[in-house]
Amino acid sequence: MQFAYTPRLAELKERAAGLTAKIMPYEEECEAQNGLTPEALAAIRDEVLASGLQAINMPVEWGGAGLTVLEQVVVQEELGKLTGALWDTVWRPANCLRAATPEQRSRYLLPGIQGRCRDAVAITEADAGSDPSGIRTTAVPDGDGYVINGEKWFVTVGDAADFLIVLANVQPSGAPTLFLVDKDTPGVSVTRTPRYTHTFVYEHPEFRFEDVRVGSGAVLGEVGQGYELTRDWFTEERLMIGARTIGAAERALRLATDWAGDRVQGGEPLINRQLIQGMLADSVVDITTNRAFTHQVAWEFTEGGDRKLLHARAATVKLAASEASNRVVDRCQQIFGGRGYMRDQPVERLWRELRVDRIWEGTSEIQRLVIANEITKRGLDGLLSFATVD
Ligand SMILES: Cc1cc2nc3c(=O)[nH]c(=O)nc-3n(C[C@H](O)[C@H](O)[C@H](O)COP(=O)(O)OP(=O)(O)OC[C@H]3O[C@@H](n4cnc5c(N)ncnc54)[C@H](O)[C@@H]3O)c2cc1C
């Protein structure tokens, strides 16, 4: 066993840290204005391209950085330190776009990889969240294409996106299918842009699709392949959430530790108080154990293996890391006292922003169900053992 960065991973980590440092100065503007100006976003885009960390999940031959899952985790951990979800300005087109036809690839994916166009994923509906089989959006075959009707909620980056990846049931059989829908297609409209707990550099609007006509070339993958394509994407995305939340927790802990060293109450620096030391120590435990496990499972993805088991392993990572990181930022906020409740304090922003990591891409309860499903169907062995290599 080797638990160390290779020179390649160390270089990537340093490069990601450098990009994170370049984006960090935009945090306060993002918080104050609930987003960034087009000029600021353009400046960040230039930094992303200069770093070579654009579309890290896409192959080099298409213009992406072509990183393995483990390498992506190393990068995402650094970017996760950013508040305002500024990590999302470092674009990664949805993995399911790898299923694009050559025509779809040149129209959507290649510009997306270059940072010239963005996708947003529209699966969730008012009555279909944890259970996407409850979606009511339909695609009715019509001539050479389809007519889509329905509503979608929580569409992250829906304001900045140029096209949407929409899950709809193709009639009459109800086959769940992904469609690539240009946002300016007649019949596509934004019904509401709600405010959320966190500040996020983009919005999560709700969309209505009213008699939206698309050609047969809008189908991503095959008709009926909708769940399969989204499941694969969710699986890797859950590791990235694990990585980002750990990075966020590390930033919060470093800030809280410095503060505890400086802040004197009752004649002693806080860091000399055992109740404070306990919070710092528990946070070190939460970060280090989850960092190691996230890297372990990311390595297993990179080595390849049984997708069903990896799905459950990724659920374990997401559940453990997001819950642990929420505990860390909560403790760090406590150490800052009243100052930890002020929005100009990065720890306060991280505390608000990490909450959603227990909800999106499958809630903590859904991750438990995925793990339990693996236990009941195939037993504990795959979940509990280390992989072996020759
Ligand atoms: C900020 C934000 C951004 C998002 N971005 C996107 C996006 O870009 N695209 C997209 O499609 N979706 C997006 N989502 C939606 C997100 O994936 C869903 O909110 C999430 O999957 C939960 O669905 P729900 O909100 O309908 O809650 P529900 O499914 O109604 O769940 C409510 C509660 O019941 C629990 N629960 C549900 N089923 C079970 C069960 N079987 N057993 C036990 N407990 C259960 C849940 O864990 C939760 O605690 C986003 C959500 C948020 C908040």
> What's residue 41's pLDDT?
98
Q: Answer yes or no: do 243 and 274 share one domain.
A: yes
Within-domain flag for 2: no
Q: How many residues does the chain have?
A: 390
pLDDT attached to residue 347? 98
Atom nearest to 200 CA in ligand 1: 1
Q: 274-303 vs 226-262: helix axis angle to the nearest 10? A: 150
Say what the pLDDT of residue 101 is.
98
Residue 389's pLDDT is 78
Residue 221 carries which side chain, given as an amino acid letter? G
The tokens describing 194, both together, are 């709600």
Residue 118 and residue 109: Cα distance in Å, rounded?
Answer: 9
Query: Which atom of ligand 1 lies at the shortest distance from residue 130's CA?
Result: 29
* Residue ranges making up the domain that contains 171: 119-220
The token pair at 356 is 């959603």
Pair 241, 336 in one domain: yes
Quick one: pLDDT at residue 390?
A: 74
Terminal-residue alpha carbon distance, the chain: 12
CB of 183 sitting under 6 A from ligand 1: no
- Which of 171, 202, 220 terminates a domain? The answer is 220
Q: What is the DSSP letter of 313?
A: H
Whether 240 and 216 map to the same domain: the answer is no
- 64 in the same domain as 23: yes
Is 161 found in the same domain as 133? yes
Instruction: Look at the block and give the residue holding tokens 């960065």.
Output: 5
Q: Is 89 in the pocket of ligand 1 (CB under 6 A)?
A: no
DSSP per residue over 235-250, as a string? HHHHHHHHHHHHHHHH
DSSP string, 190-219: EEE----SS--SS---EEEEEEEEEEGGGE
Ligand 1 in reach of 156 Cβ (< 6 A): yes
Q: Report whether residue 178 contacts ligand 1, using a CB cutoff of 6 Å.
A: no
> Last residue of some domain: 188, 220, 252?
220
DSSP assignment, residue 361?
T
Residues 291 and 155 in one domain: no
Residue 370, Cβ neighbours under 10 Å: how many?
Answer: 21
- What CATH number did the domain enclosing 34 receive? 1.10.540.10
Helices 226-262, 346-353: axis angle to 10 degrees equals: 150
Residue 225 pLDDT: 97
Residues 124 and 189 in one domain: yes
Q: Is residue 100 part of a domain?
A: no
Residue 107 lies in a domain: no
* Atom 17 (ligand 1) nearest CA: 360
Confirm whether 389 is domain-assigned: no
In a domain, 180, yes or no: yes
Domain total for the chain? 3
pLDDT of residue 254: 98
Under a CB-based contact definition with an 8 Å cutoff, are residues 239 and 313 in contact?
no
Q: Do 178 and 305 fall within a single domain?
A: no
Q: Tell if the pTM clears 0.95, that is, is over it.
A: yes
Atom of ligand 1 nearest to the CA of 152: 11
pLDDT value for 17? 98
Q: Which of 154, 231, 237 to mutate to test the pocket of ligand 1 (most atoms within 8 A of CB)?
A: 154
Instruction: List, in order, residues 6 or more apart from 174 with CB less than 8 Å away.
Output: none
97 CA distance to ligand 1 middle (Å): 23
In a domain, 1, yes or no: no
**3-state DSSP assignment of residue 321:** helix
For position 283, which CATH number holds? 1.20.140.10
- Indicate whether 235 and 368 sit together in one domain: yes
Ligand 1 mutation target, pool 124, 195, 229, 356, most atoms within 8 A of CB? 124
Going by alpha carbons, the residue nearest to atom 37 of ligand 1 is 130
Question: 352 with 236, same domain?
Answer: yes
**Residue 80 backbone dihedrals phi, psi, to 5 degrees:** -65, -15
Residues 37, 63, single domain; the answer is yes
Q: Determine the residue of 96, 157, 240, 359 to mutate for testing ligand 1's pocket, defined as the one with the most ligand atoms within 8 A of the Cβ atom.
A: 359
Closest to 86 (Cα-Cα) out of 23, 15, 17, 18:
23
Closest residue by Cα to residue 17 from 173, 250, 201, 219: 250
- 293 lies in some domain: yes
**Residue 114: its pLDDT value, please?**
97
The residue whose C-alpha atom lies closest to atom 32 belonging to ligand 1 is 130
What CATH number is associated with residue 169? Answer: 2.40.110.10
pLDDT of residue 355: 98
Determine whether the shortest distance from the Cβ of 127 to ligand 1 is under 6 A: no
In this structure, the residue with its CA closest to atom 25 of ligand 1 is 129
Instruction: Say what the pLDDT of residue 104 is.
Output: 98
Q: Is the Cβ atom of 344 under 6 angstroms away from ligand 1?
A: no
Which residue from 346, 245, 343, 325 is spatially nearest to 25, judged by alpha carbons? Answer: 346
Q: Which token pair is 301?
A: 């993805």
Residues 378, 363 share a domain: yes
Residue 305 confidence (pLDDT): 83
Q: Which residues of the chain have pLDDT under 50?
A: none
Examine the fold and report which residue of 199, 220, 241 is the final residue of a domain before the chain moves on. 220
Closest residue by Cα to residue 152 from 100, 229, 204: 204
Residue 262 located in a structural domain: yes
Query: What are the structure tokens assigned to 18, written together?
Result: 């450098």
